[in-house]
Homo-oligomer: A and B are copies of this chain.
Amino acid sequence: MKVLLVDDEPTILETVETKLRKEGYSVFTAATAEEGMRLYKQTKPDLLILDVMLPQRSGYDLCRAIRKDSKVPIIFLTARASEDDRVSGLDIGADDYVVKPFNLSELAARVKALLRRTTGETPLQIVETGNLKIDPVRHEAVLDGANLTLSPKEFALLYFLARHAGQVFSRDTLLDRVWGQDAFVSSRTVDVHVHWLRERIEPTPGKPIRLVTVRGVGYKFVA
C-alpha cells in the first residue's frame, strides 16, 4: 500500500515516514503542495496524509484539486482542533482528521482503519450474535458464557463467518479472505476446519445449525 505524506516540517516527515514504513507501507514524502501534486500523479497512492498549513498553497487546496479526479482517502494533519476546521475539512473531502501533536501509533492506526474501510473491510470489533461473542482484540470467543478454546485458524474462520453472518462463502473465497491471498492449499482444508469448529460450537453433532453447508456453494454462519 502506498501512502503520500505532505508536510513542511522535516521532523514530522521523517518520524511519520519511519513509522509507516515499519508498518509495511511504501511512503512518499513532499514538503510543498506543488511537489505533493507531482508525486500524487506519479505514484497514485492509496492514501494521502496532508498538512493543512503548507507554504503557498494550503493542504485544503491540494485536497480539493485531488478530489476532482479521485476519491483516494485523505487524512488531514492540523494544529488546530476547532470544530470549524473539522467541518470545513470534511466538507472538502477529507476522510479523517488528526490534530497535532499526535501520537504516531494513533496516526498509524487511523491509516490502517481508513484503508480497511475504503477497501471494504471493517475494522476489528466485537461480534455478538445470540449466545456467541467474539472479541478479536482479546482474542477470545465465548459461547454460553464458556470460553472456547480455538486454534488460530479456527478463530479466524469463525470470526470471519460470524462477522458476515448469513452470507455464503465459497471455499475459494474463504481461502482468500481467511487464509490470505498467498496461501496455496487445497480447498478441502476448509472442510476440515469447519468440521472442527462444528465440534466446538454446534450443540448436536451431525446437525449443524450455526455453520451451515450450502451444497455446491460453500458455508455460511447462521445467527
Contacts and interface: CB of A to CB of B under 8 A. Distances in A.
Interface of A: 9-12, 15-16, 18-19, 22, 79, 81, 99-106, 137-139, 151-152, 166-168, 176-177, 181-182, 214-217, 220
Q: Which of A101, A102, A138, A181 has the most CB of B within 10 A?
A: A101
Nearest to A19: B181
B11 A181 contact: no
Contacts of A220: 138-139
Contacts of A12: 11, 101
Copies of this chain present: 2
Q: Which of A15, A106, A220 has the most CB of B within 10 A?
A: A15
A103 B102 CA distance: 9
Contact of A138 (B10, B18, B152, B168): B168
B138 A167 contact: yes
Contacts of A10: 9, 11
Contact of A11 (B9, B81, B176): B9
Given A22-B181, A137-B168, A138-B167, 20 more contacts: A9-B101, A10-B11, A11-B101, A12-B101, A15-B79, A15-B100, A16-B101, A18-B181, A18-B182, A22-B176, A81-B104, A99-B103, A100-B103, A104-B181, A138-B166, A138-B168, A139-B214, A151-B215, A151-B216, A152-B217
A152 B215 contact: yes
Nearest to A81: B104
B139 A168 contact: yes
9 contacts: A9-B101, A12-B101, A15-B101, A79-B103, A99-B101, A104-B181, A137-B168, A138-B167, A152-B217
